[in-house]
């Protein structure tokens, strides 16, 4: 049940911070250079990288993330919002 | 040599992964399967249709020298793009080269229509990780025993696995490519390269012959037929080179060498040698085995455009050979 406890502390800010550090790490950028208003596309993440991000995020949160959230949201902030909602939704369903 | 390669690969794969985080290595998703189906129809099925059209047209219109030349040049460029570029350079890092040569190989490889360089690399590294075991994306040996099982396996490994398949985590399998701006640029324009690879023979055919028919046959022979031929060659590695042919080393998979195929697929069909020595730029492992991909690397090396070309020594090779006891 570890992952549920971790997921309870997940809010939009935490997801946004994870997104920024993940993308910075993969693309070799500084965390600070990535803004919440950036989109995955404008940062240079294509569908291959976005899918990788989804897999690693699923590993982190312990939930299944519909790819549509990542492919359709225009900004990182919107993704953080969508993923947080999804996390809460799946916790309710699981509980 | 293999051990050092394994270590580099291991470090590459571990680079970004933190130890306390479980990592998913492949993902099956309806969204991705839809993209894969579309790609399959456009670049795997359509070239078959185009090839049938090109052959049917022969009854009405003899093939011209221009068409044959367009086919040959495009076949060699895109075939080497896959064999030397995608496979030996990007996936297995068997030699080093300049950014310009990397870009050219990436572009010609993309024109073959077998996927973007990063996806192709990630999938092929997974194939080596799990050769002929559960999780191998295109093994012909996981579909039951007997003739029926082998036939099913052949069809899957040769063709139908591409309809819909688990997609690999590129951050896990290809972090090195993600740090290379040249590769990122080539990968991002994958579809542009494919279109260019079809447009070029069409335009050249039209300009040289000054006819509309020249454009049509240029497209068919320099575009469709050459895509078909390069693909069938590479698909044969996944199917035939894990089913029939000879083995001489101990490997964890069921890969084989098929000598007669080698001239037609740039030496790639020394596939068992390649599974035994994945880090080697040479697949033939001896000068008398036909391996045009390696010859190109040697030529680049002579011209000072390739260096650190990795090939196992004769002693390293003989140490791995199966001996009759």
Residue A2 lies in a domain: no
Residue B325 lies in a domain: no
Residue B201 lies in a domain: yes
Residue B21 lies in a domain: no
Residue B279 lies in a domain: yes
Residue B285 lies in a domain: yes
Chain B residues with CB-CB distance to A44 below 8 A: 184, 188
Residue B45 lies in a domain: yes
Based on the structure, what is the number of domains in chain B? 1
Q: What is the pLDDT of residues B246-272, one digit of tens each?
A: 999 999 899 999 999 999 999 999 999
Nearest to A71 among B23, B27, B31 (CB): B31
Q: What is the pLDDT of residues A3-38, one digit of tens each?
A: 444 545 678 899 999 999 999 988 888 888 999 999
A interface residues, B as partner, C-beta within 8 Å: 25-28, 44, 46-49, 51-56, 58-60, 67-68, 71
A46 in Cβ contact with B187 (< 8 Å): yes
For residue A38, what are its two tokens?
Answer: 């950036």
Residue A82 lies in a domain: yes
Grade residue B13 by pLDDT with cuts at 50, 70 and 90: very low
pLDDT at B17 over 70: no
Residue B200 lies in a domain: yes
How many angstroms away from the CA of B208 is the closest CA of chain A?
Answer: 38
pLDDT at A15: 93
pLDDT at A46: 85
Taking an 8 Å cut-off on Cβ atoms, the answer to whether B179 and A44 are in contact is: no
B235 in Cβ contact with B243 (< 8 Å): no
Size of interface A-B (CB pairs under 8 A): 60
What b/e readout covers B57-86, taking b as 16+ CB neighbours within 10 angstroms?
A: beeeeebbebbebbbeebbbbbbbbbbbbb
A58: CATH: 1.10.1200.10
B172 in Cβ contact with B25 (< 8 Å): yes
Q: What is the pLDDT of residues B147-198, one digit of tens each?
A: 999 999 999 999 999 999 999 999 999 999 998 999 999 999 999 999 999 9
Residue A39 lies in a domain: yes
Taking an 8 Å cut-off on Cβ atoms, the answer to whether B169 and A52 are in contact is: yes
Q: What is the pLDDT of residues B283-307, one digit of tens each?
A: 999 999 999 999 999 999 999 999 9
Residue B26 lies in a domain: no
pLDDT at B232 over 80: yes
Using DSSP's 3-state secondary structure scheme, residue B215 falls into helix
Portion 153-212 of B in contact with A at CB < 8 A: 167, 169-172, 175, 178-179, 184, 187-188
Whole domain around residue B209: which residue ranges?
2-16+36-60+67-320
pLDDT at B269: 97
Whole domain around residue A53: which residue ranges?
9-94
Chain B residues with CB-CB distance to A23 below 8 A: none
- Mean per-residue pLDDT over chain B, rounded: 92
**Whether complex ipTM tops 0.85:** no
Grade residue A91 by pLDDT with cuts at 50, 70 and 90: confident
């Amino acid at each position: 049940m570890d992952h549920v406890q971790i997921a309870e502390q997940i809010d939009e800010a935490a997801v946004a911070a994870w997104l920024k550090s993940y993308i910075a790490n993969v693309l070799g950028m500084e965390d600070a250079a990535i803004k919440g208003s950036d989109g995955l596309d404008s940062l240079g993440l294509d569908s291959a990288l976005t899918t990788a991000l989804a897999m690693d995020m699923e590993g982190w949160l312990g939930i299944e993330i519909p790819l549509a959230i990542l492919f359709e949201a225009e900004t990182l902030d919107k993704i953080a919002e969508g993923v947080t909602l999804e996390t809460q939704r799946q916790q309710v369903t699981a509980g | 040599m293999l051990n050092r390669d394994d270590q580099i690969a291991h470090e590459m794969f571990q680079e970004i992964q933190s130890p306390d985080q479980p990592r998913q290595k492949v993902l099956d998703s309806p969204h991705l399967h839809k993209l894969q189906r579309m790609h399959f129809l456009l670049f795997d099925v359509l070239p078959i249709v185009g090839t049938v059209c090109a052959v049917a047209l022969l009854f009405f219109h003899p093939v011209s020298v221009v068409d044959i030349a367009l086919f040959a040049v495009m076949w060699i460029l895109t075939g080497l793009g896959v064999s030397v570029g995608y496979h030996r350079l990007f996936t297995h890092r068997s030699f080093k080269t300049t950014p310009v040569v990397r870009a050219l190989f990436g572009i010609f490889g993309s024109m073959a229509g077998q996927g973007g360089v990063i996806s192709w690399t990630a999938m092929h590294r997974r194939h080596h990780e799990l050769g002929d075991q559960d999780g191998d994306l295109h093994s012909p040996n996981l579909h039951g025993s007997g003739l029926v099982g082998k036939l099913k396996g052949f069809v899957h490994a040769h063709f139908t696995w591409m309809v819909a398949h688990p997609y690999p985590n590129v951050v896990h399998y290809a972090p090195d490519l993600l740090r290379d701006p040249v590769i990122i640029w080539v990968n991002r324009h994958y579809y542009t390269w494919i279109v260019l690879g079809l447009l070029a023979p069409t335009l050249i055919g039209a300009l040289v012959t000054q006819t509309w028919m020249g454009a049509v046959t240029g497209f068919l022979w320099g575009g469709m037929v050459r895509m078909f031929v390069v693909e069938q060659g590479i698909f044969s590695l996944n199917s035939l080179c894990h089913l029939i042919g000879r083995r001489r080393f101990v490997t964890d998979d069921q890969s084989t060498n098929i000598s007669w195929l080698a001239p037609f697929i740039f030496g790639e069909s020394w596939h068992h040698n390649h599974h035994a020595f994945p880090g080697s730029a040479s697949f033939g492992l001896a000068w008398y085995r036909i391996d045009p991909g390696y010859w190109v690397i040697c030529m680049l090396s002579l011209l000072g455009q390739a260096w650190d070309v990795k090939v196992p020594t004769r002693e390293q090779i003989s140490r791995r050979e199966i001996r009759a006891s």
